[in-house]
Each structure stands twice: as C-alpha cells, then as structure tokens.
Amino acid sequence: MTIAEFQRQIEEIYFARDKARGMSGTFQWFVEEVGELAQALRGADKERLSSEFADVLAWLSTLASLVGVELEAAAVDKYASGCPKCGRTPCSCQGAKP
Amino acid sequence: MTIAEFQRQIEEIYFARDKARGMSGTFQWFVEEVGELAQALRGADKERLSSEFADVLAWLSTLASLVGVELEAAAVDKYASGCPKCGRTPCSCQGAKP
C-alpha cells in the first residue's frame, strides 16, 4: 500500500469527523496515541505494538489531510535521495543525531 | 512509494546509527520531531509543515524498524477494511473520538 493510498483510506474512514473536530483537537488525539505507543514500546506484546504503530500512522495521516499536506509527497521530497542534510545513504553527518 | 519502501529507505539511511542509539533514545528524538510538527502546525509555512510531517514519519518508521514492526503490514492489518471498531467506511462509531 502506498503512503498516499493509506492517507486516502484514513480520509474515507475518518475525515468528516476529523474535520469537524479540527486540527488542534486532532493533534491532541495524535499525541494520546503517541503516549500509547510509548507504553507499548515498554512491553513485549508484538500485536499491541503493531496496532499502536498503525494508530500513530493513522493519526499522523489525518493531521496531514487536515492541513492539506500529502504525506507521500512530503516523505519522497525529503528522503528519497538519502539523508536531507549530507545527501548520502547511509547518512554520514558528523555528530548528528547522537 | 509504499509504506514498506519508505521504511526500507529510512533503514538504509539511518538504521545503523539508530540501532546503536537504541529504542529509548530514538523515541526521544521521535517526540522531539512531534514537537517540531506541533510548532509548524501553528504557522503558515507549508514547506516547513511538509518537512516536519516527513520527519515524524521517518522517526516513526525507524522506531518500528528497531522493534521489528513492519509499518505497512501494521497499517493494512488495522485499517484496510475500514474502522477497526465498527468495521465501516466511513466510521460510524457512536460517541467515539469526539
């Protein structure tokens, strides 16, 4: 499934409600899901972990839709040619992201 | 670009460093990017917004790689058939996600 197809799928399921709620309220839900992912990452339940990753991706996607960002285009623009800072794959930035 | 292709791309650029840093340190970076996205969402700079969405997706992806989760499989499993709670598209859950 492409990133764009996933974004469309989440729009079809949730966009009407998410739009009615608005960006700030939706961001709050997104962060709540990030918290659930943090909890899952401390455990060993692989199924729960997978589910929480899916949720964070879904809420990130719907946030992008709310502000008119195409997640796939954003991802390709920034990362398709390697590290956006050093331009290399693998990244060879010095001292970055310790 | 599929979700899986993006995850592979991020692995090729960053996995060695991310693995050396470990999951908790990488989660901290992920949350820092979520903070930058929050800031960008309060502004009107569309290019910055797009860049921050890409970053959050990249860090989410690398986190998934670190714990052996396939982001695309997780997304498809949970959302390909509509809302995972009510099973419908659009979601018709009552009272959910206000």
In tens, the pLDDT along B46-94 reads 999 999 999 999 999 999 999 999 999 999 999 999 999 999 999 999 8
The verdict on a CB contact (< 8 Å) between A34 and B29 is no
- B28 has pLDDT over 70: yes
Average pLDDT over chain A, rounded to an integer: 95
What whole-number distance in Å separates Cα of residue B11 and Cα of residue B26?
13
**For residue B98, what pLDDT is reported?**
55
| Average of per-residue pLDDT across A49-67 | 98
Q: Which chain A residues are within 8 Å of B27, Cβ to Cβ?
A: 38, 41
Give me the residues of B, 35-94, that contact A with CB < 8 A.
37-38, 41, 46, 49-51, 53-58, 60, 63-64, 67-80, 82-83, 88-91
Residue B70 · residue B64 · CB < 8 Å: yes
DSSP H helix total and E strand total for chain A: 4, 0
Q: Does B74 sit within 8 Å of A57, measured CB to CB?
A: yes
| Cα–Cα distances in angstroms (integers) from residue B10 to residues A25, A56, B39, B88, in the given order | 30, 18, 24, 33
Between CA B1 and CA B3 the distance in angstroms is 7
Encoded tokens for A76? 């390709």
Residues of A in contact with B83 (CB under 8 A): 13-14
Nearest to A67 among B1, B9, B41 (CB): B41
Mean pLDDT along residues A79-98 = 88
Would you state the pLDDT for residue B94? 81
pLDDT at B96: 61
Written as one letter, the residue type at B45 is D
d(CA A78, CA A75): 5
Q: What is the pLDDT at residue A98?
A: 55
- Spatial contact of A62 and A95, defined as CB atoms under 8 Å apart: no
Q: How confident is the model at residue B97 (pLDDT cuts 50, 70, 90)?
A: low
- Is A43 within 8 Å of B22 (Cβ atoms)? no
Residue A2 is nearest to which of B1, B73, B97, comparing CB atoms? B1
